[in-house]
């Protein structure tokens, strides 16, 4: 083995030795202090102890060899540069000890200021400041307080109580009214508190203070709150933190001194301007602690114009250098400005877009970089209406934020009532225990949906998300009584017609009407706001970045839409076709009766009659959709759910029969239905008679649908339009299934289409694992594949989609078995592997095979990147997700570097 300690590792870097790209080694704070130093900005001298030293300490439980000597050497050179020695009784150098990890972590240890002060150097500090005793004792009491709290875990409140006590005795609320004697007394009180909690006197040896503080920063990496924060933010646990030792500069030397924080642009809106707070005669931590009222940074211009101008110059310089919004911390010591921190600042979703657009205008970044700096989650957030920020309503319940947005309206308990009131122009909130497919009209009519049961994948949640409608599900504090038309929550009784407000992001439920604002981004996508003429900076920025994403992306984006209205909206949102048109809704409502006839048909004749009655209805539906999607492909899925889903539930039928018998009415039909429901009952309907199996068992069913599609296409073409239908067979697991359906379909299509020029593709969903694994065979009979990732996930994992989220996903998430529900974001290792295999083997068997995705995942940002990497042709998602998918497909195409967006 090589003598690993022959070359000693470098654990300490002077600020002049680092730069902003060394965040892994120096932490964010240290790397940026070094960067500013090298830019020639006024940074107090200091050095950074690396994350490597921290990691070595955390693994072995002691400081690594050589660290102490390196700290000593850097401290000496700092002392030489400052012309003062740490804690010297006559003319002390003081330092701050500051933690700083790669990612900013609010859960970490705070900073210790004024290290090096003790009973003797406090006198020297006073002399240094021109016999300013007040300042010296104020600095000393701050040291004991911060050191006690962060290094020795003394409860912070005890210090605060002692401070309040003195202020009370003095009859003031302002710590500026305390004089040197008061503060000397406070130091005495603080020392007692320190000794009581630690069993030792406050350390007087400056170097011991320094070493203990450094060690405490190392240890803070594994403090409980830091561990929790990292887990939540998915920050790796093994990065360690760096420690910065910085020569103190003083903002508490008098009225010509002070401290502040600032942003180079408004992190809320992205607007250009000066945003910051300033506090005269104070040390850094006072600003954040809110001990005294800060003044807007603009007022510094009156107080100290030279420093103010210099600060604005530095802020402009930093923006230009980092090419991004920066936030900064600074201190002014008797008219001299010092920079204490900078970093690329956090911002809201709106500000992210606006700033990216501005920086392009200013020539600081190009459009690729602008696209890289925003994301689909931010765009999605901007597409929902929201409650006004300053409302004062209190939530009465909290459910699951199942579909974001904000909505208020009158409570209704049935779909019919929702439709009625909405027709009268009322805003309504549909409240149910849980919803079912019959509530669809009510859900469309309502502003929002509130249920007391069900999770993020319940019917209400999935359908609401698809419609872009606000939904809170599983608000289990609500006791919903539909027959009585009321719900109770706590002591409140809410009757039909009472107004409630729901927040689909937070899951909160309010009584009364919380004011809502519409999304200007949606107004833009709807074509109601012209991006060229609007003065809305957000809309202009979104337009610009979306245009670039569209130019950059390779994935096409289609929509899932079952109606002409959905298709039209999705098209406005940029959809390039329909990737999934479900046909089951075409069997609902007043068409149920025909489905019942189909199911109860006793012979070929009756069945054919029922199908013949359904044919024109379906054809009309398809005509409407093809017209809206004129010239673009429309993938129609043949009927998928089990037929008994179209019949009333067993219990209800049983009751109907009993009641009718009681009344002596003719119950023949009810009895027949009841018998059919009993006959068709399945233990596992999701694994039962559905999809292609249904088509192979019920003669004429698929044939009727294929005919309706082909006839609709011909009708549209005869009218001068262009229809591009693609027929999709669901739930295929074996090529033989598809071949059987295909043979019949081709016959019908040839007969209907004739010489009209209509071309109809036939393909299949890949949603059963066996289909993915035999994709090479299936491709022989399919012109396209569409991955049904919901079922593929369900069957890949063996998770019943309707049950598992509420039942145990919380535990799986807690244990980290997965970081996010595989129904929300594609499981790339497992389900994703099935997709890869199917894509590769399918294309090998049939070059030019079209590949797409039509599950909920088609609009999930992370999943879109995965589908791009697999080389699919398109994703399809609900209309509201279309812009998100466009944006992320663009980002996937330009993402070449692995730079951190955290």
Binding site for ligand ADP (CB under 6 A): 44, 96, 98, 110-111, 113, 246-249, 284-285, 329, 331, 340-341
8 Å CB contact between 103 and 96: no
Which of ligand ADP, Mg ion, none lies near 791, with the C-beta cut-off 5 to 8 A by kind? Answer: Mg ion
Minimum CB distance to ligand ADP, residue 100 (Å):
7
Q: What distance in Å separates the CA atoms of residue 288 and residue 281, rounded to the nearest whole number?
A: 14
- Which of 439, 726, 791, 856 forms a contact with Mg ion (CB under 5 A)? 791
**Residue 463 binds which entry of ligand ADP, Mg ion, none, with Cβ cut-offs from 5 to 8 Å by kind?**
none
Q: Residue count of the chain, please give it.
A: 902
Choose one: 75-83, 124-132, 286-294, 333-341; the region binding Mg ion (CB under 5 A).
333-341
Residue 365 phi, psi dihedral angles, 5° rounding: -135, 165
With the C-alpha atoms ordered 819, 822, 826, 827, is the resulting torsion angle positive or negative? positive
Could you tell which of ligand ADP, Mg ion, none binds residue 246, using a CB distance below 5 to 8 A set by kind? ligand ADP
| Binding of residue 294 to Mg ion (CB under 5 A) | no
Q: Which is nearer to ligand ADP, 112 or 760 (CB)?
A: 112
CA 384 and chain centroid, separation: 13
Instruction: Supply φ then ψ for residue 201, to 5 degrees.
Output: -75, 155
In the complex with ligand ADP, which residue's Cβ is closer, 113 or 428? 113
**264 is in the binding site of which of Mg ion, ligand ADP, none (Cβ under 5 to 8 A by kind)?**
none
**Shortest reach from residue 149's CB to ligand ADP, in Å:** 13
788 contacts Mg ion (rule: CB under 5 A): yes
* Known catalytic membership, residue 854: yes
Nearest CB to Mg ion, comparing residues 114 and 501: 114
DSSP codes of every residue in 293-317: --EEGGGHHHH-HHHHHHHHHHHHH
304 touches Mg ion (CB under 5 A): no
245 binds, among Mg ion, ligand ADP, none (CB under 5 to 8 A by kind): none
Residue 174 CA from chain centroid, whole number: 42
788 touches, from Mg ion, ligand ADP, none (C-beta below 5 to 8 Å by class): Mg ion
Residue 97 host element (H or E): strand 95-101
Determine if 327 is a binding residue for Mg ion (CB under 5 A).
no
| Residue 32 near Mg ion by CB under 5 A | no
Burial label for 271, CB within 10 Å (0-12, 13-18, 19+), is middle
290/631 with CB nearer ligand ADP: 290
Q: Which of 372, 459, 543, 865 is catalytic?
A: 459
Question: Tokens 């002390």 appear where?
Answer: 92
Extract the tokens encoding 633. Answer: 């492909």
* Joined tokens for residue 209: 């203070």
Write the DSSP symbol of residue 504. Answer: T
Measure Cα distances from 217 to 24, 54, 151 in Å.
Answer: 17, 9, 8
Shortest reach from residue 548's CB to ligand ADP, in Å: 35
Joined together, the tokens standing for residue 814 give 């807690």
Smallest gap from residue 449 Cβ to Mg ion (A):
23
Q: Provide the minimum distance between the beta carbon of 161 and ligand ADP in the complex, in angstroms, as a whole number.
A: 22
Query: Minimum CB separation from Mg ion for residue 876, in Å?
Result: 13
# residues contacting Mg ion (CB under 5 A): 5
Tally of CB atoms within 10 A around 613? 15
224: region left, alpha or beta (phi > 0 left; psi from -120 to 50 alpha): alpha
Q: Which does 113 bind (CB under 5 to 8 A by kind): Mg ion, ligand ADP, none?
A: ligand ADP
Q: Provide the minimum distance between the beta carbon of 54 and ligand ADP in the complex, in angstroms, as a whole number.
A: 16
Question: Smaller CB distance to ligand ADP: residue 244 or 375?
Answer: 244
Query: Nearest Cα to 574, choosing from 588, 587, 555, 593?
Result: 555
Residue of this chain nearest to ligand ADP (CB atom): 284
- DSSP 3-state of 372: helix
Question: 755 to 774, contacts with Mg ion by CB under 5 A?
Answer: 767
From the candidates 471, 581, 854, 877, give the one annotated as an active-site residue: 854
Q: Which does 450 bind (CB under 5 to 8 A by kind): ligand ADP, Mg ion, none?
A: none
Structure tokens at 474: 């599983």
Residue 902, exposed/middle/buried by CB under 10 A (0-12, 13-18, 19+)?
A: exposed
Choices 68-76, 232-240, 338-346, 537-545; region in contact with Mg ion by CB under 5 A = 338-346
Residue 143 C-beta: closest distance to ligand ADP, Å: 12
Per CB under 5 A, does 474 bind Mg ion? no
The conformation of residue 643, written as its DSSP 8-state character, comes to G
- Contacts of 420 by beta carbon, 8 Å cutoff, 6+ apart: none
| Chain centre to alpha carbon of residue 78 | 44
Per the CB < 8 A criterion, the answer to whether 878 and 859 are in contact is yes
Q: Are 555 and 867 in contact (CB under 8 A)?
A: yes
| 339 or 771: CB nearest ligand ADP | 339
- State the binding partner of 407 from ligand ADP, Mg ion, none, CB within 5 to 8 A by kind: none
Q: Which residue, 78 or 440, has its beta carbon nearer to ligand ADP?
A: 78
By annotation, the residues acting in catalysis are 459, 854
Point out which residues bind Mg ion (CB under 5 A).
329, 341, 767, 788, 791
């Amino acid at each position: 083995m090589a003598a690993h300690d022959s070359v000693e590792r470098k654990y300490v870097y002077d600020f002049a030795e680092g730069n902003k790209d060394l965040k892994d080694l120096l932490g964010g704070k240290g790397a940026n202090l070094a960067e500013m130093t090298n830019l020639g900005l006024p940074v107090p001298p200091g050095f950074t102890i690396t994350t490597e030293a921290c990691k070595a300490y955390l693994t072995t439980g002691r400081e690594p060899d050589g660290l102490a000597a390196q700290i000593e050497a850097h401290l000496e050179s700092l002392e030489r540069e400052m012309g003062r020695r740490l804690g010297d009784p006559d003319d002390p150098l003081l330092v701050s000890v500051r933690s700083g990890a790669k990612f900013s972590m609010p859960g970490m240890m705070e900073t210790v200021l004024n290290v090096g002060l003790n009973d003797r150097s406090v006198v020297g500090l006073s002399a240094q400041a021109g016999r300013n005793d007040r300042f010296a004792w104020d600095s000393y009491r701050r040291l004991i307080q911060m050191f006690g709290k962060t290094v020795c875990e003394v409860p912070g409140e005890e210090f605060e109580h002692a401070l309040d006590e003195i202020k009370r005795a003095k009859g003031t609320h302002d710590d500026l009214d305390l004089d040197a004697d008061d503060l000397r007394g406070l130091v005495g009180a603080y020392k007692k508190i320190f000794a009581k909690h630690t069993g030792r006197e406050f350390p007087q040896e400056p170097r011991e203070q320094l070493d203990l503080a450094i060690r405490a920063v190392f240890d803070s990496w594994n403090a409980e709150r830091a561990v929790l924060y990292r887990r939540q933010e998915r920050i790796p646990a093994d990065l360690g933190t760096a420690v910065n030792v910085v020569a103190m500069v003083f903002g508490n030397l008098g009225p010509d001194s002070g401290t502040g924080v600032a942003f180079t642009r408004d992190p809320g809106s992205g607007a250009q301007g000066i945003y910051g707070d300033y506090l005269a005669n104070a040390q850094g931590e006072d600003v954040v602690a809110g001990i005294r009222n800060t003044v807007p940074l603009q007022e510094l211009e009156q107080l100290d114009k030279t420093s103010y101008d210099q600060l604005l110059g530095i802020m402009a310089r930093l923006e230009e250098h980092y090419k991004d919004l920066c936030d900064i911390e600074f201190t002014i010591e008797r008219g001299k400005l010092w920079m204490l921190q900078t970093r690329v600042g956090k911002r809201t979703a709106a500000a992210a877009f606006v700033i990216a657009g501005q920086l392009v205008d200013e020539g600081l970044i190009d459009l690729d970089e602008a696209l890289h700096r925003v994301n689909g989650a931010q765009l999605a957030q901007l597409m929902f209406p929201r409650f006004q920020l300053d409302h004062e309503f209190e939530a009465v319940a909290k459910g699951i934020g199942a579909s974001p947005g904000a909505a208020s309206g009158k409570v209704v308990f049935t779909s019919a009532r929702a439709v009625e009131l909405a027709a009268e122009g009322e805003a309504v909130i549909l409240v149910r225990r849980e919803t079912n497919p019959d509530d669809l009209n009510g859900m469309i009519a309502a502003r929002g949906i509130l249920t007391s049961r069900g999770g993020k994948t319940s019917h209400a949640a999935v359908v609401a998300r698809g419609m872009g409608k606000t939904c809170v599900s599983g608000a289990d504090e609500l006791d919903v009584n539909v027959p009585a038309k009321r719900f109770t929550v706590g002591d409140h009784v809410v009757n039909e017609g009472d107004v409630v407000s729901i927040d689909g992001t937070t899951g909160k439920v309010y009584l009364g009407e919380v004011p809502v604002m519409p999304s200007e981004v949606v107004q833009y996508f709807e074509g109601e706001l012209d991006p060229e003429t609007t003065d809305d900076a957000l809309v202009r920025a979104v337009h610009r970045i979306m245009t670039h994403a569209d130019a950059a992306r390779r994935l096409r984006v289609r929509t899932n839409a079952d109606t002409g209205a959905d298709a039209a909206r999705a098209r406005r949102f940029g959809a390039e076709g329909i990737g999934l048109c479900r046909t089951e809704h075409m069997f609902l409502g007043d068409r149920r009766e025909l489905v019942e006839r189909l199911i109860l048909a006793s012979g070929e004749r009756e069945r054919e009659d029922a199908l013949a009655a359904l044919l024109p209805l379906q054809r009309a539906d398809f005509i409407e959709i093809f017209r809206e999607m004129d010239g673009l492909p429309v993938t129609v899925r043949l009927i998928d759910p089990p037929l008994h889903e179209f019949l009333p539930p067993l219990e209800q039928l049983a009751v109907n029969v009993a009641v009718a018998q009681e009344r002596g009415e003719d119950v023949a039909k009810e009895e027949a239905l009841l018998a059919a429901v009993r006959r068709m009952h399945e233990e596992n309907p999701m694994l039962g008679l559905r999809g292609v199996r249904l088509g192979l068992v019920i003669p004429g069913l698929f044939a009727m649908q294929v005919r309706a599609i082909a006839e609709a296409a011909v009708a549209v073409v005869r009218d001068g339009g262009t229809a591009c239908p693609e027929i999709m067979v669901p739930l295929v697991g074996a090529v033989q299934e598809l071949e059987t359906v295909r043979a019949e379909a081709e016959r019908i299509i040839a007969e209907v289409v004739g010489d009209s020029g209509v071309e109809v593709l036939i393909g299949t969903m890949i949603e059963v694992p066996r289909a993915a694994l035999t994709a090479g065979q299936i491709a022989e009979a399919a012109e396209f594949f569409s991955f049904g990732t919901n079922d593929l996930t369900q069957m890949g994992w063996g998770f019943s989609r309707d049950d598992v989220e509420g039942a145990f996903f919380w535990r799986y998430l807690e244990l980290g078995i997965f970081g996010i529900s595989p129904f929300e974001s594609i499981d790339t290792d497992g389900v994703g592997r099935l997709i890869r295999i199917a894509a590769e083997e399918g294309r090998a068997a049939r070059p030019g095979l079209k590949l797409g995705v039509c599950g909920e995942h088609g609009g999930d940002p992370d999943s879109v990147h995965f589908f791009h990497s697999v080389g699919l042709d398109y994703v399809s998602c609900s209309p509201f997700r279309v812009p998100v998918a466009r944006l992320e497909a663009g980002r996937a195409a330009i993402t070449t570097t692995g730079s951190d967006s955290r």
